[in-house]
Structure 1
Amino acid sequence: MSPDPSQAPRRPSGKADDDLAKRDRIKGIFSTQAIQKVGTGTTTRRTIQKMYWFVEEDAEHSLEIQPLNKNYVPSGPKRRIGLEELLEKFSPEPEFYISTVYPRLRELNMVIQKGERHREKGEIFSAELEFGQALAVDEENIRANFGLGLTYLDRGEANKADDIFQRLVRLDAAFEKEHKHLFNEFGMNLRKNKMLDQALTYYQRAETLAVRDDHLMFNI
């Protein structure tokens, strides 16, 4: 992943389709501000709360936003907005993306990769440590949760793995097609650990993320 700070998008003209085809896709950090009242009675005062959002535009020019957590990494549910809403309610923050968000995302990804390498080598306790550090930054990170769950299964700790299973079920809104192989791997490990109901749930969830996968159908 390389820095790709967003610039303020141009308003579509009468040739909206041509403009969309010519300009770069929107990707970066934007902010919104909201006025909140604090206190009651004579002690009431107004404060301005600033929120940061990661905004990304796909190939069909659909915009998806995701809030930043307290550690300034995108986390939590995503939602789609229109270009007009982005122009009217959001302000671009390209400097903040370069100076803060991108370094945090890069560091988080490196920690997760270290955890995955440790697990592949059978270094279970080191893997658990790395995945735990990643989840301290983003407790809803899909790869870190899957990695920690698989690590627990490698150690034969079914109860802890089931806790991760329940956590991942609650993170349903964050799953995307690239997570299919993670569902499949987790499902295989759940089956090996005799956790058949959970394994079937994971296989079926992976099925919803794929057009058709013969290996997945065989596992089910």
Structure 2
Amino acid sequence: MSETENQRARIKGVFSSEKIAKVGAGATVRKTTQTMYWFAEEDEQGVITIQPLNPNYVPSGPKQEIPKEEFLEQYAPEPEFYSSKVYPSIRKLNQTIAKAERHRDNGDTYSAEYEFGHALRVDEENIRANFGLGLTYLDRGETGKADNIFQRLIKMEATFEAEHKHLFNDFGISLRKNEMYDQATEYYAKALELSPADENLHYNMARACFAKADIQNTVEHLRTALRLNNNLDIAKKFLEYLKKNKLLPQNISGAEPKVSD
């Protein structure tokens, strides 16, 4: 089978599952069947991930992996439901978010806020829309509203997935620039739980720690970043700055990573 044929064979679309439940008690007990709809997708390794559809017909909420044999046995394809309900809803949602992002890029933050808000009424857990609204509030310096979005994002693991890396980085930098240092360090700490070997996350955490005057953790994260990637020049320059200004804590032991002159 060619690579193209293999890609075509992957599972992707809307599927339904049925759950039988008992209602009532004693002589009045009866069985009811509840139908659930899911968006399912198979990756290159053959792992199938399912995500429930919300009442607005868009995939929303936590994803879960399911064995292929179990999936094929318990889930039925719903191609007509996908084409008539789900695809148009996803398409409209993405258009709304794209419109909001254009408004934000053009500095029209109030129109951006309106469109992001509309998107979140369709899917309150949409990562792209949450990031966009949070960034819009940070653009305006509305840190209280931005903190509400931060509290929502920090609870969702999808926030830190690779597909959201660009928005993730922008949001972390904006938190720091708006002097939301506690949120920034909590944000990067959560990200590091999921990606402990990401040198850029360690560097960004160092920046956030430095803003809080936490020099001990600043240096530790810089050194970790350089252990992971000794060619990370911005981390070298930051560490050199700390050395020149005699800001290195005396209780940090061990050889320093080599820095440029």
Q: Assess same fold via TM > 0.5.
A: yes
Q: Does the CA contact (< 8 Å) of 1:181 and 1:206 recur in 2?
A: no
Sequence identity (%): 62
Q: Does the CA contact (< 8 Å) of 1:149 and 1:164 recur in 2?
A: yes
Structure 1 unaligned spans of 5+: 1-19
Give the alignment partner of residue 167 of structure 1, picking from 152, 161, 173: 152
> What is the CA–CA distance in structure 2 between the aligned matches of 1:41 and 1:159, rounded to whole Å?
53
Which has more radius of gyration?
2
Q: Does the CA contact (< 8 Å) of 2:39 and 2:53 recur in 1?
A: yes
The alpha carbon displacement at 1:212 in A equals: 3.7
Counterpart check, 1:81 vs 2:66: yes
CA separation of 1:139/1:52 partners in 2, compared to 1, >3 Å: closer, same or farther? same
> What is the CA–CA distance in structure 2 between the aligned matches of 1:203 and 1:185, rounded to whole Å?
12
Structure 2 unaligned spans of 5+: 206-261
Matched residue type, 2:63: K
Matched residue type, 2:60: S
Q: Does the CA contact (< 8 Å) of 1:184 and 1:206 recur in 2?
A: no
Task: With a CA cutoff of 8 Å and minimum separation of 6, indicate the structure with the bigger relative contact order.
Answer: 1
Number of the residue aligned with 1:149: 134
Give the alignment partner of residue 115 of structure 1, picking from 100, 118, 122: 100
> What is the CA–CA distance in structure 2 between the aligned matches of 1:106 and 1:135, rounded to whole Å?
14
Q: Does the CA contact (< 8 Å) of 1:142 and 1:175 recur in 2?
A: no
CA separation of 1:160/1:54 partners in 2, compared to 1, >3 Å: closer, same or farther? same
CA RMSD of aligned residues (A): 2.4
Moved more, 185-194 or 173-182: 173-182
The alpha carbon displacement at 1:87 in A equals: 1.3
TM-score, structure 1 normalization: 0.83
> What is the CA–CA distance in structure 2 between the aligned matches of 1:155 and 1:84, rounded to whole Å?
50
Partner SS for 2:154? helix
TM-score, structure 2 normalization: 0.71
Task: Give aligned pairs, total.
Answer: 202
Give the alignment partner of residue 82 of structure 2, picking from 86, 92, 97: 97
Moved more, 127-136 or 197-206: 197-206
CA separation of 1:22/1:121 partners in 2, compared to 1, >3 Å: closer, same or farther? closer
Q: Does the CA contact (< 8 Å) of 1:186 and 1:202 recur in 2?
A: no
